[in-house]
């Protein structure tokens, strides 16, 4: 079947095609004969009960620096003119992002939106994961310096990070002496209105942070992301390196616990992060990554698996 696919993402000229998961999805869709449109979240317009996007037809190719062609500008009625909307812009998970989910939620009865916009809004990476606390390291969400000091005293070395951060940005390790805790909490409280995440530091992170991809609630592949020398952040965008990986029995148990809820919520493409083979830290639903590296190591076709599920959903 041929589908019309509207992709809500960041500017195409800014992406790194060698590892970008959205670009891999575009290439795969194009190879299947699907027609692609590109627009930014800010291009959405709601009027008289209809949701529109100012978009361009687009074609893609695996040529660095010459990886896309922009075609005709069109005004798409996202409820009538397309079969699928891929919501793939990167965080920050701010009011602009949240507003886009509210608008896209209005077309769910007409058009498949991946991932489901209401579920994305209600399952931010570092908040929804709290529903699976039995698999998490000791975790606190707070703006209170006093509470943070007590947590540090109880657990020793800790990590402080923004509640709605991404790509390893603004992640700090604080030692047992707590020398920088007050200054960092002051900085975070001045920068962010929401509370912050504090977790026990896991020494196992030196061996890597595993990204595990689930498609329609089922395990599809994994990579290990090893931090750069002298860093605690394993995110590939923060200098981490990818390694081939399998998953442990505990990680399979985590996938089995999360999978049915992903299916129920319409979260079709999800990446979870696990440290030390057992500590779940995030459930990434906004714009998960890692499939290019997974396929490079395993010889798999994760974008194809994703499109198989989408095509079945649209045809039913």
Residues 252-285 pLDDT 10s: 999 999 999 999 999 999 999 999 999 999 999 9
Q: In this structure, what are the phi and psi dihedrals at residue 260, rounded to the nearest 5 degrees?
A: -60, -35
CA 106, CA 118: separation in Å to the nearest integer? 10
At residue 90, the 3 state secondary structure works out as: coil
CA distances from 292 to 49, 72, 222, 269, 289 (A): 38, 29, 11, 14, 8
pLDDT of the residue at 175:
95
Residue 244: is its pLDDT beyond 70? yes
DSSP string covering 96-124: HHHHHHHHHHTTTTTSEEES-HHHHHH--
Residues 195-226 pLDDT 10s: 999 999 999 998 999 999 999 999 999 999 98
Mean pLDDT of the chain: 94
**151 in Cβ contact with 176 (< 8 Å):** no
CA 291, CA 20: separation in Å to the nearest integer? 8
CA 6, CA 216: separation in Å to the nearest integer? 20
Model confidence at 24, in pLDDT bands (50, 70, 90)?
Answer: very high
Mean pLDDT within 294-302: 97
Mean pLDDT within 132-138: 97
pLDDT of the residue at 94:
85
Mean pLDDT within 230-236: 62
Residue 176: is its pLDDT beyond 80? yes
> Residue-wise over 139-158: b if at least 16 C-beta within 10 A, else e?
bbebeeeeebeebbeebebb
CA 24, CA 27: separation in Å to the nearest integer? 5
CA 38, CA 245: separation in Å to the nearest integer? 33
Positive or negative CA dihedral for 93, 303, 259, 281? negative
pLDDT of the residue at 236:
62
Percent of the chain with pLDDT over 70: 97
Taking the C-alpha atoms of 143, 147, 148 and 153 in order, what is their torsion angle to the nearest 10 degrees?
A: 180
Prior bond of 115 cis (ω within 30°): yes
Model confidence at 230, in pLDDT bands (50, 70, 90)?
Answer: low
CA 25, CA 5: separation in Å to the nearest integer? 11
Mean pLDDT within 150-168: 91
Task: Report, as residue numbers or ranges, the catalytic residues.
Answer: 126, 161, 211, 225, 233, 273, 282, 284
Structure tokens at 47: 């009027």
pLDDT of the residue at 209:
92
Q: Which of 110-119, 143-152, 227-236, 256-265 has the lowest mean pLDDT?
A: 227-236
pLDDT of the residue at 245:
94
CA 209, CA 139: separation in Å to the nearest integer? 17
Residues 65-121 pLDDT 10s: 999 999 999 999 999 999 999 999 987 778 899 999 999 999 999 999 999 999 999
Structure tokens at 199: 């977790």
Model confidence at 18, in pLDDT bands (50, 70, 90)?
Answer: very high
Residue 12: is its pLDDT beyond 90? yes
**297 in Cβ contact with 311 (< 8 Å):** no
Helices of type H across 266-301? 291-298
* H/E segment holding residue 68: strand 68-77
């Amino acid at each position: 079947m041929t589908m019309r696919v509207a992709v809500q993402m960041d500017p195409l000229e800014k992406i790194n095609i060698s590892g970008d998961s959205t670009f891999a999805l575009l290439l795969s869709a194009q190879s299947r004969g699907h027609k692609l449109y590109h627009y930014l979240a800010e291009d959405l317009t709601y009027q008289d009960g209809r949701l529109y996007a100012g978009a361009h037809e687009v074609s893609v190719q695996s040529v660095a620096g010459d990886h896309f062609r922009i075609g005709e500008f069109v005004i798409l009625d996202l409820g009538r003119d397309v079969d699928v909307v891929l919501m793939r812009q990167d965080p920050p998970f701010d009011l602009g992002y949240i507003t886009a989910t509210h608008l896209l939620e209005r077309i769910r009865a007409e058009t498949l939106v991946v991932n489901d916009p209401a579920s994305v809004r209600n399952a931010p990476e570092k908040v929804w994961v709290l529903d699976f606390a039995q698999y998490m390291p000791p975790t606190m969400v707070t703006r209170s310096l006093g509470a943070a000091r007590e947590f540090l005293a109880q657990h020793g070395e800790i990590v402080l990070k923004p509640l709605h951060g991404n790509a390893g940005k603004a992640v700090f390790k604080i030692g047992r002496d707590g020398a920088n805790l007050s200054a960092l909490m002051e900085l975070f409280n001045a920068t962010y209105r929401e509370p912050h995440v504090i977790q026990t530091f896991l020494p196992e992170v030196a061996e890597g942070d595993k990204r595990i991809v689930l498609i329609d609630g089922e395990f599809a592949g994994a990579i290990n992301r090893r931090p750069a020398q002298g860093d605690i952040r394993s995110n590939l965008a923060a200098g981490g390196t990818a390694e081939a990986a399998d998953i442990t029995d505990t990680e399979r148990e985590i996938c089995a616990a999360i999978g049915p809820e992903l299916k129920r919520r319409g979260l079709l493409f999800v990446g979870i992060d696990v440290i030390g083979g057992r500590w779940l830290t995030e459930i990434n639903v906004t714009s998960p990554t890692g499939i290019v590296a997974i396929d490079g190591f395993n010889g798999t076709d994760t974008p194809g698996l994703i499109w198989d599920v989408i095509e079945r959903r649209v045809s039913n």
